[in-house]
Structure 1
Amino acid sequence: MKVLIVTETFLPSTDGIVTRLCKAIEYMLSVGHTVKVIAPDLGITSYKGAEVIGVKSFKLPLYRFRKWSLPSKIVGEVIDDFMPDVIHAVNPTLLATSGVYYAKQRNISLVCSYHTHLPKYLSHYHLDNRLTRKGLWNFIRYQHRDANVNLCTSEAMYEVLSSQSINNLSVLRRGVDLEERHPRYKSETMRNTLTQNKPDKKLLVFIGRLAPEKEIHKLKPLMEARDDIALAIIGDGPAKDSLCTIFEGTHTLFTGFMHGEQLSKAFASADAFIFPSVSETLGLVILEGMASGLPVIAAESGPTCEQIEHLKTGIIYDGNDLDSLIKAVSYLDDDDVMKCLKQNARKEAMRYSWENASLELIQYYERAIENQYLSNLIYKIKRDLCHR
């Protein structure tokens, strides 16, 4: 099978979308499929043998931390040269809308996947009004309406998208690297670093993009309420400067990005992973924390509750209630509860592998090809009947 992935984000960016794509590409290549990727030009030309074609990129005024690419005729040129069996438009918003357009124009099987819940982001960027929300949903429906298969990352998002009349919808299995995220990476040296040489403090880590929709600022009152907590915020993003100001005077460390073994150690060396965002379509980082043997303390949302069972594999709190957050963190003081949560979290994560998730994605590609074949056949029959 020849697969063309057109995506709004790829390496060297690090987020759940890129992680999922990289693991899928690795698996597809390993079983004999051919893959090409079209993405904003960030200097990457190949990945594990898959060609990466960069499109001229730029920064948006509202989100200057990363680069984006506009829809491009390059996508059509690559399609004509590569002749893919299926096109996967990942989060079609700008560049990936070209994948949608040319798939329809060239009559090629199309898979669209929804990873970023843009309507939920509007309020964080002071754009949330009835007209903007309606227009955004109309745009999303238009991009997904002709896909042979539409994919989302959680049952909660399935319900949301279904309610917006997006059809041919399925939930894509989640996955985690069980070797790269493992309790064995626990490191006293890393713990000393992340606690700023106060290893006896309870260490919470947040790992991800630093942006308003992540709601990291809501952790500030917790840090003021408990002086025995150390918070390590690992990552970077457009909200970093404001967050540094907000958390000034608290025992909070901003590390910037970490990768590879350093990131594995950061996960495994904490007491818990903290996840205050309620705007995620899934939040793969939750599963990474669990695989590292951490209980995840997470604000309540549909996608989050699909991954965490309260007081069994993690702790759920009300993201708008400080007392609820403080109570959730208080479980760190109970050694028996923590031991049970850590064991259960790792056990739960072991149910998910990237191999199974990637195999399922290939099956969706195959379904899209079958659906496109049937659609073409029905069109041909109707056309022939009209000409009789």
Structure 2
Amino acid sequence: MRVLQICHRFPPHPGGIEYHVKRLSRFLSSRGHEVTVLTTHRGPTEIEEDDYKVVRLRSFLEPLRNPLPLELPFYFRKIAESFDLIHMHSVYTFTTLLSYPFARRERVVITLHGRASYRGLASLLAELHERISFRILRGAAVFIALNEVDKELMVSRGIDESKIRVIPNFIDLEEIDNLARSSNPVEREGDVQLLFVGGLTEAKNLDSLLSDLRGVDGASLWIVGDGPMRGKLMKLAEGMRVRFLGRMDMGGWIPYALSSDAIILPSRSEGFPTIVLEAMALGKPVILSDIEVHKRLFSGIAIFYRPGDRESLRKALKNLENFDIPPENLRSIVEKNYDIRVVGERILSVYSDLIGD
């Protein structure tokens, strides 16, 4: 099967969609399929990687952090017919919106990957962009929702429910195991050591977490990641037991995870955060904001708190002391449900059904 994956960015640029597409492409390639990734320019124009091809188109504009490669429609029209199936990642990205009009709808799969979160005027523009995007893309053959919340959003935006498949996000357990075996824990910096891994963006809600942590005795926070809010967050963190570690790949942050009491994610919105799965694979508890998607995905296996409520965070940290799910049980949940070798087969089944293979 010849598969084209389309995404707005790709590693080495960090991000959930980026690593999702990389792991999926690697899995498909290992199963003998011919895979090409079409993305935007953050490196060489065209490279071979792990037996699949990556083509990067230059993007000079990034409205709302969304790369706009103006040459994409012209390039896509030249190559589209050479693929059996086209998998587009995110309904919001210009890489999807610029290529979709020139694709054969009956061979297009689109994964939502959650929705973006903005404030102020940007939120109004994002709402309009979302409505237009779903209207343009509703003719695709199959939509993949990472969770039931995303499925409900799709239906509310006019997507035929019969086209939607709910398939969770995934991680590569073998990759994590190899890195963990070669990693040594770093020295802790607090009585309760917390770790955040992700982009420093409004959606991750770190400004709220820093406000909640101020005055919580004994708690220390490591922040792995970079983004547009870094300067503001560093000012908010002055005088606190908070260390900004910058952007790291998985091999860089795993030593910090091994030393942490919990991974914390205070997000205002999420699709299906892989950092939670990665923490569970390492046997680490997770403390999550009480947004709907978190509660639906991780009820019974995570500790929840209400961002903006310091007492709620204090209670969550207290509950951490009594967290009684054994590390091996957390890992087992991931192994049975969220490893790429399990979820990848479900995605491959969608592909096969679509092209009659």
Q: Does TM, scored on the shorter chain, surpass 0.5?
A: yes
| Residue in structure 1 matched with residue 220 of structure 2 by the alignment | 230
Q: How far apart, CA to CA, are the structure 1 residues paired with 2:222 and 2:8? A: 29
Q: How far apart, CA to CA, are the structure 2 residues paired with 1:366 and 1:250? A: 53
**Larger Cα Rg: Structure 1 or Structure 2?**
1
Q: CA deviation at 1:284?
A: 1.5
Q: How far apart, CA to CA, are the structure 2 residues paired with 1:226 and 1:156? A: 33
Q: Does 1:300 align with 2:302?
A: no
Q: Does 1:275 align with 2:273?
A: no
Gap runs ≥5 in structure 1 = 374-388
Identity %: 25
| Residue in structure 2 matched with residue 328 of structure 1 by the alignment | 316
Question: Does the 8 A contact of 2:170 with 2:340 survive in 1?
Answer: yes
Q: How far apart, CA to CA, are the structure 2 residues paired with 1:268 and 1:183? A: 14
| Residue in structure 2 matched with residue 211 of structure 1 by the alignment | 201
Amino acid at match of 1:58: F
Gap runs ≥5 in structure 2 = none
Q: How far apart, CA to CA, are the structure 2 residues paired with 1:299 and 1:175? A: 20
Question: Does the 8 A contact of 2:179 with 2:254 survive in 1?
Answer: no
Question: Does the 8 A contact of 1:183 with 1:291 survive in 2?
Answer: no
| Residue in structure 2 matched with residue 114 of structure 1 by the alignment | 112
Q: CA separation of 1:137/1:188 partners in 2, compared to 1, >3 Å: closer, same or farther?
A: closer
How well do the aligned residues superpose, as a CA RMSD in angstroms? 2.5
Q: How far apart, CA to CA, are the structure 1 residues paired with 2:178 and 2:318? A: 22
Q: How far apart, CA to CA, are the structure 2 residues paired with 1:36 and 1:185? A: 30
Residues 1-388 of structure 1 mapped to structure 2, 5 A cutoff: 1-44=1-44, 45-60=47-62, 62-63=64-65, 68-70=68-70, 71-80=72-81, 83-92=82-91, 93-104=93-104, 109-118=107-116, 121-123=117-119, 126-129=121-124, 132=125, 135-167=128-160, 168-182=163-177, 185=180, 190-192=185-187, 195=188, 198=189, 201-310=191-300, 313-332=301-320, 334=321, 337-340=322-325, 342-351=327-336, 352-370=338-356
Task: After superposition, give the CA deviation of every residue in 1:340-366 in whole Å (9 maximum; x if it has no partner).
Answer: 364542232222211111111111122
| Stretch of structure 1 that moved more, 201-210 or 161-170 | 161-170
Q: CA deviation at 1:186?
A: 8.5
Q: How far apart, CA to CA, are the structure 1 residues paired with 2:313 and 2:250? A: 30
Q: CA deviation at 1:84?
A: 0.5
Q: How far apart, CA to CA, are the structure 2 residues paired with 1:26 and 1:100? A: 24
Question: Does the 8 A contact of 2:212 with 2:309 survive in 1?
Answer: no
1:278 alignment partner, SS class: coil
Amino acid at match of 2:58: K
Q: How far apart, CA to CA, are the structure 2 residues paired with 1:266 and 1:344? A: 21
Q: CA separation of 1:180/1:267 partners in 2, compared to 1, >3 Å: closer, same or farther?
A: farther
Q: How far apart, CA to CA, are the structure 2 residues paired with 1:218 and 1:355? A: 36
Amino acid at match of 1:112: I
Give aligned pairs, total: 350
Q: CA separation of 1:68/1:273 partners in 2, compared to 1, >3 Å: closer, same or farther?
A: farther
